Structure 1
Amino acid sequence: MISYNPKDWITFIFRFHKADTFRQLIPMMLFIGLYAAAIAYLEIEYWVLPENSHVKNISIMHGMLGFVISLLLVFRTNTAYDRWWEGRKIWGSLVNNSRNLALKLSAILTEESDRAFFRKIIPSYASILNKHLKNEQTSKQLFDGVVLEHHNHRPNQVAKILFYKINELYMSKKITGDQLIILNHEIQSFTDICGACERIKNTPIPYSYSAFIKKFIFFYVMTLPFGYVFNLGYYVIPVVIFTFYVLASLELIAEEIEDPFGHDANDLPTKKIAENIKRHVEELL
């Protein structure tokens, strides 16, 4: 995740970060610019369309559809941000639950061997969950026609070890039945957190919705030069490029943050969170 000062306007305006959408859109912006230049040349120099040409009225369509595309992009961005923020809340719960489990075990356990076991295994869950969510195979579990062979669910394996160890402590009378129930709730929350993360990871925005927005933006921008050449002349080229940059950037930002567990610059720092959990648990145990 990018560390920055939200009050530093100058840096935002004049600095192009590697996560900036401008870099990704340069090839498409060049194509749009050449396309707009070709349409402007044909209308002004070759076809020599009169001012009362019906082509000029195409801009009316853009005025009508501008509100629609704005609503779609706002909804798209908000939906993607909700997924990003939900992922952050889920990992915040993992931090708290790991601390609570370590605190309770620190008070309950007396033998150093048992404490050393949990000192190692509790942070391991966060670390393995981080790798599990970044694995491309994880996101394909719900796809039709995709069969994942020899794919062990590693977070479940760690949770299984935790449950076995807690039950072993109970059977050896190192903890009471009441303490078993308390610890069971904390360990169960790990699996709940994993399931919530997989729900976000495995369920992308519906294909039809995402494809429609991309097509809408493309055809909206590609028809802009026809009507606005009459008012702007060759200045329609930078206007169309900038319009495309704004609309396409919103879609790219939404695509990046809708999967908060990837490797993009704006994704959640799950590796760093896992390292913090390890440090906190080792301190408590």
Structure 2
Amino acid sequence: MVQYNPKDWITFIFRFHESDTFRQLIPMMIFIGFYAYGIAYLELEYWKLSETSHVKNLNVMHTTVGFVLSLLLAYRTNTAYDRWWEGRKQWGALVNNSRNLAIKLSAYLSDENDRNFYRKVIPAYASVLSKHLLNEEVSKMLFEGLDLEMDHHKHRPNQVAKMLFQKANDLYKSGKITGDQFYIINSELQSFTDICGACERIKNTPIPYSYSSFIKKFIFFFVMTLPFGFVFSLGYYVIPVVIFIFYVLASLELIAEEIEDPFGNDANDLPMTKIASNIKKHVEEIL
């Protein structure tokens, strides 16, 4: 995730990072510029349309349709941000629940082997979940110091959650923790699977295709018709104006596309690897 100072306006204006929409839209902006020039040339030089031409009245359509388009883009952006923020809240809950589980176990357990097990496996859940959401293979290095293996043909976070709960059940059966203590840590153990399910829901349920496709088509045809009416009032200055309008509208859609799936490798996706590393650091400090 991009780290920045929100108060540094100058940096925002003149800095173009890798995921900046301007870089991605340059080819299309060049095409739009030539297209606008072609329409302006035809209307002003070739067809020599006058100010009384009905083509000038296309601006009325743009005024009406532009309001509808702005509402659609606002809803699109808000929906995408809600998905990003929901993903961040779930990982924040994973951080808190990992700490809470480690704190409770540090008070309950006195055997160093038991403490070492949870010292390794609690952070392992966050690491496995991050790789699961990124569709990456899980390395055995995650379980360094423990004789544990992952079955890559099965749900990997569930396997780690099962290990955590099975160990807690063994501690209860052996009398190392009481029934009340087992009940107290059960909420944290259960929350891991709840968080995983919530993240999978976000990742596996994208914005409906028909909705996303319609917005893209709407933006395209809206921009393509802009030069016809604005040529009469702007002349050849319609070229930079249309390019700018396209840049604004298309950028909003690109930003929404990037953040609607927060579990990826884009610049503005959630830093799951860093969060998992912090969980490992905190759990090791506690246990």
Q: Shorter-chain-normalised TM-score: which range?
A: over 0.9
Q: Are 2:73 and 1:73 aligned? A: yes
Equivalent residue for 1:179? 181
Query: Could you list the per-position Cα deviations for residues 22-46 of structure 1 after superposition, in whole angstroms to 9, with x for gaps in the alignment?
Result: 0000011111111111111111111
Name the structure 2 match of 1:47.
47
Q: Which ranges of structure 2 fall in alignment gaps of 5 or more residues?
A: 138-151
Residue number in structure 1 paired with 2:236:
234
Q: Write out per-residue CA displacement over residues 6-27 of structure 1, whole angstroms, 9 at most, x where no aligned residue.
A: 0000011111111210000001
Query: Matches of residues 165-176 of structure 1 in structure 2 within 5 Å?
Result: 165-176=167-178
User: After superposition, where does 1:78-97 map in structure 2 within 5 Å?
Assistant: 78-97=78-97
Question: Which residue of structure 2 lines up, in the alignment, with residue 120 of structure 1?
Answer: 120
Residue equivalent to 2:26: 26
Displacement of 1:135 in angstroms is 1.3
**How many angstroms does 1:181 deviate by?**
1.1
- 1:193-221 Cα offsets, whole Å, 9 max, x none, are 00010110011011111011000000000
1:255 corresponds to: 257
Which aligned runs of 4 or more in structure 1 are off by greater than 3 angstroms?
A: none
State the Cα distance separating 1:276 from its structure 2 match.
0.2
Q: Which residue of 2 aligns with 1:216?
A: 218
Question: What count of residue pairs does the alignment treat as equivalent?
Answer: 273
Partner of 1:132: 132
Distance 1:231 1:97 in 2: 61
Secondary structure of the residue that 1:223 maps to in structure 2?
helix
Instruction: State which of 255, 260, 273 in structure 2 corresponds to 1:271.
Output: 273
Taking the aligned partners of 2:96 and 2:9, their CA distance within structure 1 comes to: 35
Q: Deviations over 1:127-160 (max 9, x none)?
A: 01001111189xxxxxxxxxxxx74210000001
Please name the residue that 2:64 is paired with: 64
Identity, % of aligned positions: 78
Which amino acid counterpart does residue 40 of structure 1 have in structure 2?
A
Q: Hey, what's the Cα distance between the residues in 2 that align with 1:248 and 1:151?
A: 40
Q: Does 1:156 align with 2:140?
A: no
Q: Distance in 1 between matches of 2:92 and 2:153?
A: 27
Alpha-carbon distance between aligned partners in 2 of 1:229 and 1:136, rounded to the nearest angstrom: 52
- 2:142 maps to none
SS at match of 1:118: helix
Q: Distance in 2 between matches of 1:230 and 1:152?
A: 64
Residues 136/213 of structure 1: CA separation in 2 closer, same or farther (3 Å cut): farther
Task: For 1:192 and 1:157, locate their aligned partners in 2 and report how far apart those are by CA, in whole Å.
Answer: 14
Q: Give unmatched runs, 5+ long, in structure 1.
A: 138-149
The DSSP-based 3-state class of the residue aligned with 2:194 is: helix
Report Cα offsets for 1:72-96 as digits up to 9, x if no partner: 1111111111111111111110000
Q: Distance in 2 between matches of 1:160 and 1:74?
A: 42
What is the CA RMSD across the aligned residues, in angstroms?
1.1
Instruction: Write the letter of the residue equivalent to 2:91.
Output: W
d(CA) in 2 for partners of 1:42 and 1:202? Answer: 48
